[in-house]
Structure 1
Amino acid sequence: MSLGLEPPQLLQKCLFYAGRKFDFEVNRLRLPNKVEGQWECIRHPGGAMAVPITSDGQLVLVRQYRFAVRGRLLEFPAGTIETGEDAFTTIQREIEEETGYSAKDWTNLGKFPLAPGYSDEFIFAFLAKGLEQLEVAPEQDDDEDIEVVLMTPEEFEKAIHSGVGVDAKSIAGYFLAKPFLDQK
């Protein structure tokens, strides 16, 4: 199913904040159903994520500190699409930076909106196989506090259901990848 575009009519635009990773707008709009009102929106360039799996069936995840939730979340490697990059270039860079692995085999799993109630961000998801550990792991970005974690798919599903703290994009990405993981 594709998204049918029905853009609202922009009546007034106000950029409240222009940030490093995203902008925050408050706009007066007329929706397709003719309702008028004020809506806040985070404008984001989009992101890319990978579901990396080793040759022995282990998922490669990161446990990353996230200040907004004041704790560490279990996530698949991901990153913001930088100016001039496409999603595939982004995730090739991010998987190496965050996990110390590169991948030879990639499957495009599609894209999905992350939080359409307040953001226009789409995440592009990929399955990464044929992993090779880099001889020298790249340095992490200054704002990242990351630990690499290997789990079986069964362990990851238990983590999801136990409320351990798995982010939504990783849950969605995993279930997009799951049919490919189950193939022998």
Structure 2
Amino acid sequence: MPIKQPPKILSIQTVAKSRLFSIESLDLSFSNGVQRTYERMAPSGRNAVMMVPITADGDILLVQEYAAGTENYELGFPKGLIDPGETPEQAAVRELKEEIGFGATNLIPLKEVILAPSYFSSRMTLFIAQDLYSEKLEGDEPEPLEIVRWPLAQADELLNHLDFSEARSITALMLTLRHFNKSNIEE
């Protein structure tokens, strides 16, 4: 595939700002002379992590957490922002301790994903977390998160669960299943 030259950025302006988000307008000029205005969330410079914790018994641990976007409780994997100075691995272990009360001595990186590259630049590193040990840290959640155990062997049923609909969690689960299927084939 030929490498395309990105469009030239003619200007960037902040068009809206809230306590959490800034929206930018970008005036662009493409190599064919076409000019367009795009909008995006302003880059924050902070990336995130999501972990698929797997117990020694072969269960995955999910959290049920309120999601303001859907105005409902959603089922997904522990996740959070990487703090300044942290590596993705350090953030993963910290977030596990804050959200489910476990750390992990074995993190397997799966993939770095972007939620919606047309609008966001932040990246999320997906991990499998194994060799869990009990340790709790205080998190920033407004209420305790409900932890849900689900047998990894019944992942197909989880994929059909109405409350398990977040794309990054589905991606993490599918990559986890692929990882273990690949491992079983190589043995």
TM range (shorter): 0.7 to 0.9
Kept after mapping to 1: 8 A contact 2:105/2:131: yes
Match of 2:48 in 1: 47
| TM-score (norm. length: structure 2) | 0.83
Change (3 A) 1:149 1:32: farther
Matched letter for residue 54 of structure 1: T
After TM superposition, give the deviation of residue 38 of structure 1 in Å.
1.1
1:34 CA drift (Å)? 4.1
| CA shift for structure 1 position 160 | 2.0
Give yes or no for the alignment of 1:107 onto 2:108.
Answer: yes
Q: Which residue of 1 aligns with 2:118?
A: 117
Matched, 1:179 2:181: no
Instruction: Report the alpha carbon displacement of residue 8 of structure 1 after superposing the two structures with TM.
Output: 2.8
Output the amino acid matched with 2:180: L
Normalising by structure 1, we get a TM-score of: 0.84
Shift of 1:83: 2.3
Larger Rg: 2
Matched with 2:73 is 72
> Aligned pair in 2 of structure 1 residues 41, 168: CA closer, same or farther (>3 Å)?
same
**Distance in 2, Cα, partners of 1:144 & 1:130:** 27
Residue-pair matches, total: 179
Cα offset, 1:115, TM superposition? 1.2
Deviation, 1:99, is 0.7
The secondary structure found in structure 1 opposite 2:179 is helix
CA distance in 2, matches of 1:58, 1:11: 51
Aligned to 1:93: 94
Q: Percent identity?
A: 28
Q: Could you list the per-position Cα deviations for residues 157-176 of structure 1 after superposition, in whole angstroms to 9, with x for gaps in the alignment?
A: 32322433331111111111
- CA 1:23–1:162 in structure 2 vs 1: closer, same or farther (change >3 Å)? same
Whole-angstrom distance in 2 between the partners of 1:22 and 1:144 = 23
Q: Cα–Cα, structure 1 residues 144 and 167, in superposed 2: closer, same or farther, change >3 Å?
A: farther
1:47-70 CA deviation, whole Å, 9 max, x = no partner? Answer: 111111001100011111011110
1:31-46, aligned counterparts within 5 Å? 31-32=30-31, 34-42=33-41, 43-44=43-44, 45-46=46-47
Q: Which runs of 5+ in 2 are unaligned?
A: none
Structure 1 residue ranges without an equivalent (≥5)? none
1:151 match:
150
Distance 2:132 2:88 in 1: 19
